[in-house]
Structure 1
Amino acid sequence: MTQDQIDIKTPEYVAIQFRMAGLGSRAAAYMIDRVLLLLVNIIIIVVLFFVYDGMDSLPFFLRDSSAPIAIAVIGLFIINWGYFFFFEFFSGGKTLGKRMVGIRVIQDNGHSITLLSSFIRNLVRLIDSLPTAYFLGIILIFFHPKHKRLGDLVAGTIVVHERKAKKKNKSLPIEKEINLRGLNKNDLHLDEWTVSTFKEKDWKLVSTYANRFLQIPQEDRNELTKQIADLLLPKLGLEVIGKSETELENILLGLYLILKDEWEFEL
């Protein structure tokens, strides 16, 4: 287990420890993804069959027998390549298979995968699959010390296991306050893309706010709440104007619960 651990120093000079995903977990995730894509491919082929069956009802420019095949081939390529690109960027580095296995793609600096990194990583996937059955990718993952395939090397990414949040025996005072208010992390209804826009500096800001929440006078708390709300609520697509101090507090405490799951880990 020790040899699979990697320490990453972020640009903020924070050392974070990850457990690298090896060939077994990555292969399991890939097989799940391929099964899902296979089902989609079968559905498209079945639809294509029925299109051929009703060819006479198609517009004149599609009546040529080669047109539906060309459209289907292009569509299949876009779906099979775009699936990995779309999910890895818009779903926090996790395809559906990776999510089920508990692994994700991140950048070498510990940050979430960028649009360019996801594009390059999955474009090079075509080379990793050569000569057949993902042979080159398997060989590289098996022998590389950080279990990287060619796409990871070119894009500057690494696949790691999801880290587990810390387990605490006693609730913190702020957690008791949150419970008294009847708040939970589902109140804000944030998608993963929105959550991914909040970086470590945002988490530190929200965490400091939550930790000081019950320790400062009400007047100072109101001022601090307003300042932090002005910085963070625009990322949530929410307006500060028109909301009471209590509403702003509840939003920031709900955000604290969400970011806590993303950033507070047991290292």
Structure 2
Amino acid sequence: MSRERKRHYWKGPVQLRGRQIPEKTTDERLLEPSEGADWVHSDPWRVLRIQSEFVEGFGALAELGPAVSVFGSARMRPEDAEYDLAQQVARHIVEAGYAVITGGGPGVMEAANKGAHDADGISVGLGIELPFEQGLNEYVDLGVNFRYFFARKMMFVKYSEGFIVLPGGYGTLDELFEALTLVQTQKVKRFPIVLVGTQFWGGLIDWIRHSLAGRGTISSHDLDLLHLTDDPAEAVDVVVKANRSRRRQEMAEAAEAAAQAGAAGPE
């Protein structure tokens, strides 16, 4: 799509139209190979811009409360089964007492935001600057636009208590495998990841089981990091039960630490 045809373009919190629309995204410019020594002068300013994205995201989401992120294809249409499925997932999330976080775009993201909005829950969208799929959908109640993927991805993990992943493309796979890596390496602990759609995800699970675990590139118990279902209620129940277990474990650990400190007595 040419920039003349775009009605608007979001660059972080800034909206641009017409000739103000850039030819390249901020991420694209950041990742270009540096030529000469100009980067010495420009990159420190980029660091400040990146810092501002984290500050903005932390400030907007710090008081959000418990939330679950929902991922899936931006290309799904309202008449597609996945669109309705995402709305059901979001409704169950809200009924369980959580906010719903999505990437704020169209397709599955819009459906999940709509489901949360219609259920009188908190509907959050974390948008990203792209040469297409611009702007937050109309069902987002709390929205933050990002220039950089890595800043946005940090917010998904930090402010979510689990991921529910519907059928999607490369972006969905990116979020899925980043979360899996963080859990496998214990950067985040007891973080449930649920795949909704056995027909869609079944082949991937088989490949992980046979080509990864079968060849020893992952441990067999790493397969347990993924939960597969077709039932929206079950998907949310997996997240809810995992977080109840996590909270009980944290309380037990805190009580044990307090008991040990009391037994040690004053220094």
TM-score bracket for this pair, using the shorter chain length: under 0.3
Question: Which protein shows a greater Rg?
Answer: 1
- Structure with more of its chain in strand, by fraction: 2
> TM (normalized to structure 1)?
0.25
> TM (normalized to structure 2)?
0.25
